[in-house]
């Protein structure tokens, strides 16, 4: 049975992606820093640590898994104005949001090259295109994800396709945590909804469908693309 590896699989987005792939007949190997429900195999650990990827490789080999796709969702956020920037926080942002992707891709490429139609999907954000005050570290990492995706699309072609999805505001614990840092979360949310052409925020299940499309053979002629799924945020602003 074909298997997909999903990082950040315990989160709102990761669990939605895992559920969709399993409903489509795939096995899911999930990894996160906490226990993961709803997957066939799990590895608990830090995706920025190569030890974790060594454990993932062991699971793949011991169970003779046919890995056809890597979905890089794991990430973190960091709010701080540049006047108060903390070097260690910035370095960790890049380690988790960008370098962890590189490490994961490095370890899984040998398995993906054995598949007939392998793919990688990276989690980006429209923040890379618009900027957000106070979230410069997050914005910078997502810009790096976009550039990394394009560079690796050339490096890994033609055996492996790699694309990224750039969501708008999606209803996950990750985004709600960021919302709660604002002075007036209710007002901020209403304003955020109105900034989307669809006049609402998205759901993890909606982004999961985009990720599935990019990972599957349904997008067989796409590589190096940053696919925006933002409910019309960019066109309205």
**DSSP letter assigned to residue 219:** G
**DSSP letter assigned to residue 168:** -
Please state whether the peptide bond connecting residue 29 to the residue before it is cis, i.e. omega within 30 degrees of 0: no
Q: Which residue has the tokens 């997008």?
A: 219
Q: Which helix (H) or strand (E) holds 150?
A: helix 136-156
Q: Which residue has the tokens 């840092």?
A: 181
Which residue out of 78, 138, 212, 233 is catalytically annotated? 138
Radius of gyration for the alpha carbons in the chain, expressed in angstroms and rounded: 17
Contact between residue 65 and residue 3 where contact means Cβ atoms under 8 Å apart: yes
**DSSP letter assigned to residue 74:** -
What are the distances in angstroms from CA 25 to CA 2, 20, 227?
8, 9, 24
Query: Which residue pairs from 143-146 have beta carbons closer than 8 angstroms and sit at least 24 positions apart in sequence?
Result: 144/94, 144/97, 144/98, 145/97, 145/98, 145/101, 146/226
Q: Is 78 a catalytic residue?
A: no
Beta pairing class for 118-123 and 66-72: parallel
Q: Which residues are catalytically annotated?
A: 138
């Amino acid at each position: 049975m074909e298997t997909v590896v999903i990082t950040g699989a315990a989160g709102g987005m990761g669990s939605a992606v895992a559920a969709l792939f399993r409903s489509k007949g795939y096995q899911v190997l999930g990894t996160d820093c906490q226990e993961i429900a709803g997957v066939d195999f799990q590895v608990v650990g830090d995706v920025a640590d190569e030890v974790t990827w060594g454990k993932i490789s062991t699971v793949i080999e011991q169970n003779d898994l046919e890995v056809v796709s890597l979905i890089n969702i794991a990430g973190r956020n960091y709010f701080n104005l540049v006047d108060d920037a903390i070097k260690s926080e910035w370095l960790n942002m890049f380690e988790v949001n960008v370098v962890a992707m590189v490490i994961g891709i490095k370890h899984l490429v040998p398995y993906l090259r054995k598949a007939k139609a392998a793919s990688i999907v990276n989690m980006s954000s429209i923040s890379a295109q618009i900027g957000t005050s106070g979230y410069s570290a997050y914005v910078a990492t997502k810009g790096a994800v976009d550039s990394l995706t394009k560079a690796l699309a050339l490096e890994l072609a033609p055996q492996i396709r790699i694309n990224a999805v750039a969501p708008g505001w999606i209803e996950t614990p990750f985004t709600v945590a960021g919302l709660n840092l604002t002075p007036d979360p209710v007002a901020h949310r209403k304003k955020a909804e109105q900034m989307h052409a669809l006049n609402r925020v998205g759901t993890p299940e909606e982004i999961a469908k985009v990720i599935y499309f990019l990972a599957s053979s349904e997008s067989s002629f796409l590589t190096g693309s940053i696919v925006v799924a933002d409910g019309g945020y960019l066109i309205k602003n």
